[in-house]
Structure 1
Amino acid sequence: MTESEISCCKVGRVAEVVGIDVDRELADRWTGEDRQSTRELADWFNRKLLAAELTAAGIPTKDGEVDNYYRLLTDDAVSSGDRIETRRELEQRGVSVDTLDERFVSHQTIHTHLTECLEASLSEPTLSERIDDAETTLGQLQSRTEAVTDDTITRLASHDALDIGSIDVLVSVQVACRECNHQYSVRELLDRGGCHCTR
């Protein structure tokens, strides 16, 4: 059975294909006393997936190795050289890293699985959940702006109203603090939790 033949969201499809049972623990981690954000749960799920793929490839792992592989594959702070070396090592040992990349899930996907597939709910979102929701909303607005701009420019070019070749539209929103005049991208500001002048 392929992933596309399983009727569920991406989390459910991937979990079933790989053979990991996570639904109850996902819901408990999200709604329990020590609640985790959907971003934390996405990392948790992706590490479970990575561990399952390593096991399927016959790669034994010691404590901390799965976390380290995940960091090397996904952390923006990792150099491109280290990431390429890690990917090459895993490929040589029988792990399809391209497939792994496609199966990794985002925090939005986790939220969809929790609320629509598992019908879990929260009475009051955590601060981390509020930030995740804000990031999702702003990201959707940015994507929408990029799509509308691309469509508009393309239509103008197709009617010879604009002379331009193939295009890429890039939208970057900056937030400037009036107190110290420091500027941040929205993602950077949300990740920092505020401006450095207030810390």
Structure 2
Amino acid sequence: MSEYGCKVCRILDEYGMQRYETQLLEQWQADPPQRKGYRQLAEWFNTLMLRREMDRAGLSTLGDEAESKYERLRSDEAIAEEVATELSNAGVPIERLRADFVSYGVIRTHLKDCLDSDVDLSSGEWEREAIEISTSHATTKIEEAVRSLRNKDRLSAGGDVTVSVDVELECENCNARLPADRAIRREYVCNCTN
């Protein structure tokens, strides 16, 4: 059995990142407009790991360089491998790093189980979290399917293909449609009455 509570616990220790645990928790427990969901926290955490390894290898991390590299590592397979090779040649232990990247589920486990922490999910917060998790899961599955279709030459494009999953709500009476996040923010879908 592992000496660590979860993958995040191990990474914080092995990468010497314990001081970032407080930031992780603060971003999760922030008030709603600043609060980050599990997916955003996973991206922040992974980018942080990459930035630290790029710094150690003497690579520039000014501006959004680490964020850009992380996004490219998650994009089309050919681009991801090109970036991985570039980072590896510069001394970044990219295969280890990629294996250590965390998913939103791992972040959720760390926050809820290891830190035994919670947030006030009243006023629609748990519902927003459910929509975010479902959208993230759908995006990942669609990206996998699209990548497979492209690899089988059953789907072509002149460049990279980006998957975007938007959740819309529609009133069955007046057929008004709008993005779910906007409807939740303004607290109504339409102005019609039954």
TM-score, normalised with respect to structure 2: 0.64
The answer for unaligned runs of 5 or more in structure 1 is: 143-169, 171-187
* Counterpart check, 1:119 vs 2:93: no
For the 8 Å contact 1:37–1:128, the answer to whether it is kept is: no
**What residue in structure 2 maps to residue 66 of structure 1?**
66
**What residue in structure 1 maps to residue 15 of structure 2?**
18
For the 8 Å contact 1:90–1:97, the answer to whether it is kept is: yes
The answer for unaligned runs of 5 or more in structure 2 is: 146-162, 179-194
Give, as a single letter, the amino acid of the residue that structure 2 aligns with 1:192: D
**What residue in structure 2 maps to residue 43 of structure 1?**
43
Post-superposition shift, 1:123?
2.1
Give, as a single letter, the amino acid of the residue that structure 1 aligns with 2:70: Y
Partners of 2:82 and 2:104 lie apart in 1 by 27
With 32-41 and 52-61 compared, the bigger mean Cα shift is at: 52-61
Post-superposition shift, 1:81?
2.8
Count of residue pairs the alignment pairs up: 145
Structural mapping, 1:1-199, within 5 Å: 6-20=3-17, 21-33=19-31, 34-75=34-75, 79-124=76-121, 125-134=125-134, 191-194=165-168, 198-199=177-178
Give, as a single letter, the amino acid of the residue that structure 1 aligns with 2:48: K
Post-superposition shift, 1:56?
2.2
Which structure has the greater CA radius of gyration?
A: 1
For the 8 Å contact 2:38–2:105, the answer to whether it is kept is: yes
Q: What is the RMSD of the two structures over their aligned residues, measured on CA atoms?
A: 3.0
Give, as a single letter, the amino acid of the residue that structure 2 aligns with 1:28: E
Give, as a single letter, the amino acid of the residue that structure 1 aligns with 2:63: D
Post-superposition shift, 1:73?
0.4
Identical-residue share of aligned pairs (%): 27
Q: Deviations over 1:29-64 (max 9, x none)?
A: 111112110110000100111111112222232211
For the 8 Å contact 2:54–2:60, the answer to whether it is kept is: yes
**What residue in structure 1 maps to residue 155 of structure 2?**
none
TM-score, normalised with respect to structure 1: 0.63
SS in 1 for 2:168: coil
Post-superposition shift, 1:98?
1.4
Post-superposition shift, 1:8?
2.4
For the 8 Å contact 2:39–2:133, the answer to whether it is kept is: no
Give, as a single letter, the amino acid of the residue that structure 2 aligns with 1:93: A
Q: Deviations over 1:6-45 (max 9, x none)?
A: 4221011111111112211111111111211011000010
**What residue in structure 2 maps to residue 152 of structure 1?**
none
Partners of 1:59 and 1:8 lie apart in 2 by 32
